Chains A and B, each alone.
Chain A
Amino acid sequence: MKKWIKIALIVGAIVLIAGSITVFWLFNKPHRDVTKEQGVQLSAQKLYDAFRTNEAQANKQYLDKAIEMTGEVAEVITNQDGNIVVNFKTNDPLFVINCTFKTNPGQLKPGQLITFKGICTGYIPDANVVINEGVLVK
């Protein structure tokens, strides 16, 4: 066999394998599982204060991070896709930490003190900090 054919075959095989791995990975890479991550521990009030005082800094610290947050339940609602959402109280009556559960946490009531772990997606001024894909810690 001519040398260049050999090289072409080898290069072709490498490209094919790399391509298959990329495609396989594209469709099979698992989603983040927050239960396997160590969360940043803090209170709902502290998270709110951080974003209100300096959004850019808070984004650096908390955006996309696993957050293990403790706070008082203000209200429990169900979103349009049937997931449970808990709004945590802050000292600003118009502002909450909006947390969506990926698994049903069971019965929760306003006034209850709970710890929630999820991924922080950011801050919406004058409204809420959002955490989703979460689970109940206690």
Chain B
Amino acid sequence: MNTMKLFLSLIISVVFFVNNTDAQKIFATRNGKVNFSAPSDEDVKAVNNEVTSRLADNGQMTFSLLMKGFKFKYAEMQEHFNDQYLESSKFPRADFKGTIVNLKEVNFSKDGSYKVSVKGDLTMHGVTKNITANGTLDIKAGKPVTACQFTVLMKDFKVDASSVTDKVSVDISCQYQ
């Protein structure tokens, strides 16, 4: 009888778990935009328009982008960025996985503009580092639009680009479906 009870409670918990995940809403984009620029040199800037991101209404957020997808104004800089500084063939991707810290202040079912703080792990150039970034989450016609800026120090990710810059400011903008 005890096994029966255990079995039943297991089934019930599985059903509940499935129901819970079903209730969760996930928004996604494959074409989010990430810009970065070096504050010390206006020519050092690049854009990536193929950022895959998912945002769930439980506050979980992921971003993935391909280093070779960064487009620079100058082809030679793009080459240096990939071959010397970020070693993009060895580390083709950058990933972020985090959560919205102040989720309580966001209402996904109500249009509006919400200030959010996101905390999580950024992995780039083979190094993972915990970061916190502040930004905005707008709900427009039920769909989230996010924008956020933060600074990345080259030494935090073991990127030796000292001849160019020691930090870049990163700008993220995503429109989710």
Residue ranges of A at the interface with B (Cβ–Cβ < 8 Å) = 25-27, 29-32, 59, 63-64, 77, 79-81, 83, 85, 87, 96, 98, 100, 119, 121-125, 127-128, 130, 132-133
Give the number of residues in B that approach A within 8 Å (Cβ atoms). 25
| Residues of A close to B78: CB separation below 8 A | 31
- In angstroms, how far is the closest chain B Cβ from the Cβ of A134? 11
| Residues of B close to A132: CB separation below 8 A | 49-50, 69, 71
Q: 5 A-B pairs, CB-CB below 8 angstroms? A: A80-B173, A121-B68, A124-B65, A127-B52, A130-B66
Closest to B95 in A: A124
Alpha-carbon gap, A121 to B65, bound state (A): 10
A81 x B47 contact (CB < 8 A): yes
B93 x A63 contact (CB < 8 A): no
Alpha-carbon gap, A100 to B64, bound state (A): 17
Residue ranges of B at the interface with A (Cβ–Cβ < 8 Å) = 30-31, 33, 47, 49-50, 52, 64-69, 71, 74-79, 89, 92-93, 173, 175
Task: Known contacts A26-B77, A59-B92, A128-B30; decide if A121 and B49 are in contact (CB<8 Å).
Answer: no
Alpha-carbon gap, A63 to B64, bound state (A): 16
Interface-central residue, A85, A122, A123, by most chain B CB under 10 Å:
A122
* B-side interface mostly: strand
Closest to B64 in A: A124
B31 x A77 contact (CB < 8 A): yes
B69 x A30 contact (CB < 8 A): no
- In angstroms, how far is the closest chain B Cβ from the Cβ of A100? 6
| Residues of B close to A83: CB separation below 8 A | 49
A26 x B64 contact (CB < 8 A): no
Alpha-carbon gap, A77 to B30, bound state (A): 10
- In angstroms, how far is the closest chain B Cβ from the Cβ of A109? 19
B30 x A127 contact (CB < 8 A): yes
Q: A85-B31, A130-B50 are in contact. List 19 more A-B contacts (CB 8 A).
A: A27-B76, A29-B74, A29-B75, A29-B79, A31-B75, A59-B92, A63-B68, A79-B33, A98-B31, A100-B31, A100-B50, A122-B68, A122-B92, A123-B66, A123-B92, A123-B93, A124-B64, A124-B93, A132-B50
Alpha-carbon gap, A87 to B173, bound state (A): 20
Alpha-carbon gap, A59 to B49, bound state (A): 20
